[in-house]
Amino acid sequence: MTTQQTGYRWIGQSMKRVEDPRLLTGRGQYVDDIALPNMTYAAALRSPHAHARIRSIDTSKAKAVPGVILVMTGAEAAQQTGPLPCFASPPVTQYCIAVDRVRHVGEAVAAVVAESRYIAEDAADLIEVEYEPLPVVTDPEEAIRSTGDAVLHPERGPNNIALQRTLTFGPVDEDFAKADVVVRRKLRWPRSGAQPMETVGALASYDDATGKFSIYANTSMYNYVGWLMAMSLKVPAHKLNIIPTMAGGSFGSKLFTHKVPILAATLARACGRPVKYVEDRIDNIMNCDNHGSDRIYDLELALKKDGTMLSLRMTVIDDYGAYLQFGVGHHGNALAQLTGPYRIKSAQVSLTAVMTNKGQQGAYRGFGSEVNNFAVERMADAAAEALKMDPVDIRRKNFIQPDQFPYKIPTGNVYDSGNYEAVLDKALGMADYHGWRRKQHEARKEGRYVGIGLVSCQERSVFSATEFWFWNHEPGFALTSSPDSVDIKIDPTGKAFVRLHAPFWGNSPETVATQVLAEQLTIDPVDITVTYADTDSGLPGTGPGGSRYTVMIAGAIAGAAKEIKEKMFKVAAHLLEASESDLELRDGRVSVRGTDRGMSIGEIALQAHYFKLSLPADFRSGLDARYTYDHPYTTLPNADRTDMGVFYPIMGHMCHIPIIEVDIETGQIKFLKYVAVHDAGTVVNPMTLAGHIRGGTVQGIGSALYEHYYYDSSGQLLTANFADYLIPTLMEAPENIEVGHVVTPSPYTEYGIKGGGEGGRMGAPAALASAVEDALKPLGIKIDGLPIRPVLLREMIREAQQRRTEDGAAEDLQGPSDWSGRSSREHLGGPPGNAER
Amino acid sequence: MKPAPFSYVRPMTVEEALFALAQQGDEAKVLAGGQSLIAMMNLRLLKPRCLVDINRVAALDYIRQDNGTLAIGALTRQSAAETSPLVLQHCPLMTEAIQYIAHRPIRNRGTVGGNLAHADPTSELPAVAVATDATFVVRSANGQRTILAADFFVGHLTTALRPDELLTEVRVPPWRPAGQGWSFMEVSPRKGDYALVGVAATLQVKDGACQAARLVYNGVAGRAQRVPEAERALVGRNADEAAFREAASIASQRVDPHSDFHATAAYRRDLVNTLTRRALAQALARCGKRSA
Ligand SMILES: Cc1cc2nc3c(=O)[nH]c(=O)nc-3n(C[C@H](O)[C@H](O)[C@H](O)COP(=O)(O)OP(=O)(O)OC[C@H]3O[C@@H](n4cnc5c(N)ncnc54)[C@H](O)[C@@H]3O)c2cc1C
């Protein structure tokens, strides 16, 4: 069994988060906490229609409300501000306020600036808009066939297909021809999304003396692509400073939130006063631009009789909603681990990305790979059942073996390292898998439906930019860099100052930076402070996302620390009259190896800052360094896209085993146990990683059992508030998610760290589907869609019971189930029956 | 999510409150715990011109007992009723039901009177009130009247209260002596959510035979619904699994629930069936006990 390499002082410690004291005492300074003199407040008027032409807007009544400063329509805003940033190719035009046409419910049609948010909302109520409704498209399969007025973006082409492409990796047809069995399944992954406690917000001001914007915002990526906001605002990049605020959660959804800051800035320029615009909850749910994947899969897995997996074919339709800000990057992402932890030799993906009248997709913990995991793991279970194998055995049989790393999968991505059996075995042990199989058998005799789920899936980490564009037929901006930077200074008193160039968005960047720097410089964490750069002072910073930030800042800090150490050694060698090669850094002192002669970092820093004449002539004063760390291992895709190159090589892994019981009379699911074992390489902080795993797992339980952005056929979002969009609370979570770690260090990263930010949500949905299906095996029920809501489960159970009565089948508790001849339950992802509110 | 403009009055006595209501007429809304009202105002589903805040009217905050009749002041917080020994002694069905209302912080603010006056058809307390034949004391500047629970609830968020009337007290008649069992059960999407279906059941058993029964449901109609046919199927029979099954089956056929995103009518019927059976079994097990 692999265990964490020891010998580190701070790496691997469950140090308390350095962010917490100010966050927990209400001093976090979220965007809504920031106030500027003369500040005003904005509210938006939201479209009640999913698809309509805007005939006319009358703002006169709103403008007459005392306290109203400005009312702006989309057409007026577009005179000053261009389209929002878009990474799709060709781009899809979207404005911060809709112009001429609304494409989803909730899209802003006008904005009001007033002395208070109350007045702004009162006035927004008085704006009169005349709409001409257009045909609404909400069904992704129907969207493929849309014509005429049902086409959302006619300038892009005569239909609602955003992108259609088939990528083939390896000899798929030959491998299918060799197969003894082909397992097929149709799956439905419904739309859900991140629900951070803080919504998206911005406080923008415009200085007409300098022609410069300042925007406080809780967005990320501002030091990567923030200049795109300047382009939208039609100012040069140096006329826009984006100042990060602490983000009250993101889970991906604040990856690059540009609409809100651009709207606030547009209004601020127009009214000449600072404007604060913070989404309310309904705004955020409808308009956050970060809905998650919404996919229909047709899957085929080719196998040998003995369970050897040969090839995988996926046909997937993905409903992107009304706009396409990140292109189909989510499917680029999924190619990182398309074939899971298995030695599948070839694969094919046929993607049809469609546009519908829903909020657009963005980022949500997993960025499309969580869906791929669901697909692969459902197929592994289906294969086990078809071949009458144990779900554990079929996985074990197909795992990539520890001595096969680095391992290149059919898509071209490389997995750096792993030991999948070690993770599996640890999870089986922690869960008492075999014991529970016996208990399950006993329970069935009592008419109780206990289910054991098991998944073994990948957690790709440290994204590289190529995934955003390599699906495109003609990539517009084929960027290949995704670096992160730090600058570090040691002040004259020997204290360390770290500046990050990406924001806090709910993770623990300060804690990680502190632990890594403490390790590097052998100093105490209390002597380190961490701050965040704005864009004026920013270095390249791609920022968190794709489970990358811990790895990236560890690399950047190690790089900067190396330069600082060199400087310290230079000073110390000179003053101690020793050779640099005889020096060592230990416990915050540079000393001559094997002697007690040395200097503390504080003493060195004092010299470096104030005693130039005591130092070598070529010594530049101060003790600081900046370092930009590039993605450790990226290569280009080839021209015909039969090989995507290496873009996500830092490969984590997990095994989740939930044990649940279904009440077949109510369809409710109860947790009996939950085990999650992860390999995230070298662990920097076991406590915060376990927090990620547990929180992510509960989020995955949300996706599996509760959460659904459900649009009815008229495009109304029926779950636009927290009474209807159900997030699991502590009461719905397993009492204890038992977390285990297996450590296979990455050969490509500093300390061998792998990312671990998304893992829980990347495993739990598939694990829950597996567990529920296992529980209901006696009834022959298949789980092909999410969320597995009690109403739907009960409906399937009722049908199964009726089928049984009609067939006159005896209560055969171990009865076989007919996975093959079964018709797919397409409505599982949808609402029951003729749902009416 | 900010409310439309409104004016605000904060009476200190019942009389002042009644005076304010009489003056404001239809334009006013009573503000109790605010746990339903404020949310609706923030969503601008309600735009009252005036709020009459009764939170300082201390005279409405009490739990008393008078010859076995339980009297609860309208301003009593749900959590106070939940933990009250008097309520547990005189109406354990209510104690059990309150635990299904929302979450503790909401019950700390939300009031018993506000919950009943709000008359959400999925609410637990209206079902309890109907199951126990509670009466409602209401007052206006013109005087006082009492309304039987069965008449108080008119439909979805609608009661027999007139705009100038204040609900001041709920009276629960004496809990029947030994031999009375009870159970409140419910299924909701998550803990604390409004019910998909809930049932308030009481059962009186003597020598194994069922003498009286009450079955009242929340979540299946526009208001708490009693199903007398199912109750009749129990009376005079042996209180056993077979009788419970039959009553449950009748109840599930008699109710006519709606479909919405969270539950179909068929699912709600299934829940009526299952919950009735389970609740009656629990009520039977509790027969003769004072409290759980
Ligand atoms: C997240 C959440 C979950 C909830 N879940 C549940 C649940 O599961 N079950 C449930 O039953 N409730 C639930 N509630 C509602 C809660 O019980 C409320 O407290 C209750 O519905 C209203 O009581 P209140 O004191 O807050 O009244 P308010 O919100 O102040 O008022 C509600 C209505 O009653 C009127 N009113 C209040 N007091 C009087 C009076 N004395 N006389 C005349 N009219 C009056 C008001 O004018 C208003 O129209 C939930 C609330 C929330 C926020």
> Sorting pLDDT into bands at 50, 70 and 90, what band is A819?
very low
Domains of chain B: 7-53 (3.30.43.10), 59-172 (3.30.465.10), 180-286 (3.30.390.50)
Cβ-contact A658, A768 below 8 angstroms:
yes
Give kind and range of the element (H or E) at residue A334. Answer: helix A329-334
Average pLDDT over residues A801-820: 55
Asked if residue B205 has pLDDT above 80, the reply is: yes
> Which one-letter DSSP state was computed for residue A399?
B
Cis peptide before B257 (omega within 30 of 0): no
Give kind and range of the element (H or E) at residue A425. Answer: helix A420-431
* Min Cα–Cα distance to chain A from B118, Å: 17
Judge whether A24 is closer than 8 Å to chain B, CB to CB.
Answer: no
State the average pLDDT for chain B: 96
What distance in angstroms lies between residue B182's CA and the mean position of ligand 1's atoms?
25
> Sorting pLDDT into bands at 50, 70 and 90, what band is A812?
very low
Option in B187, B192, B193 nearest A668 (CB): B187
How are strands ordered across the β-sheet holding B143-148?
Answer: B63-66, B69-73, B166-172, B135-140, B143-148
Q: Considering the entire predicted model, what is its pTM? A: 0.95
How far is residue A532's CA from residue A545's CA, in Å, rounded to a whole number?
17
Asked if residue A816 has pLDDT above 50, the reply is: no
Asked if residue A2 has pLDDT above 70, the reply is: no
How far is residue A20's CA from residue A29's CA, in Å, rounded to a whole number?
13
- The label of the residue with tokens 């029926």 reads A718
Q: Tens digits of per-residue pLDDT, A321-366?
A: 999 999 999 999 999 999 999 999 999 999 999 999 999 999 999 9
Q: Tens digits of per-residue pLDDT, A689-746?
A: 999 999 999 999 999 999 999 999 999 999 999 999 999 999 999 999 999 999 999 9
The whole-number pLDDT of residue A817 equals 34
Strand B197-206 vs strand B209-218: parallel, antiparallel, or unpaired? antiparallel
CB–CB of B190 and A833 under 8 A?
no
Reported ipTM: 0.96
Instruction: Give the whole-number percent of chain A exceeding pLDDT 90.
Output: 95
Option in B2, B191, B262 nearest A118 (CB): B2
> Sorting pLDDT into bands at 50, 70 and 90, what band is A145?
very high
CB–CB of A726 and B190 under 8 A?
yes
Q: Tens digits of per-residue pLDDT, A262-285?
A: 999 999 999 999 999 999 999 999
Ligand 1 contact via B24 beta carbon (within 6 Å): no
Residue A65 Cα distances to A118, A121, A355, B135, B279, angstroms:
11, 11, 38, 47, 56
Q: Tens digits of per-residue pLDDT, B277-287?
A: 999 999 999 99
How far is residue A733's CA from residue A660's CA, in Å, rounded to a whole number?
12
CB–CB of A791 and B260 under 8 A?
no
Judge whether A832 is closer than 8 Å to chain B, CB to CB.
Answer: yes
The whole-number pLDDT of residue A619 equals 95
> Sorting pLDDT into bands at 50, 70 and 90, what band is A565?
very high
3-state secondary structure (DSSP) of residue A50: coil
In chain B, what is the straight-line distance between the N-terminal and C-terminal CA atoms, in Å?
42
Residue A431 Cα distances to A437, A657, A760, B1, B152, angstroms:
11, 7, 17, 46, 53
> Sorting pLDDT into bands at 50, 70 and 90, what band is A5?
low
A:617-676 residues touching chain B, CB 8 A cutoff: 665-668
Strand A161-169 vs strand A346-354: parallel, antiparallel, or unpaired? antiparallel
Judge whether B4 is closer than 8 Å to chain A, CB to CB.
Answer: yes
How far is residue B148's CA from residue B144's CA, in Å, rounded to a whole number?
14
How far is residue A249's CA from residue A265's CA, in Å, rounded to a whole number?
23
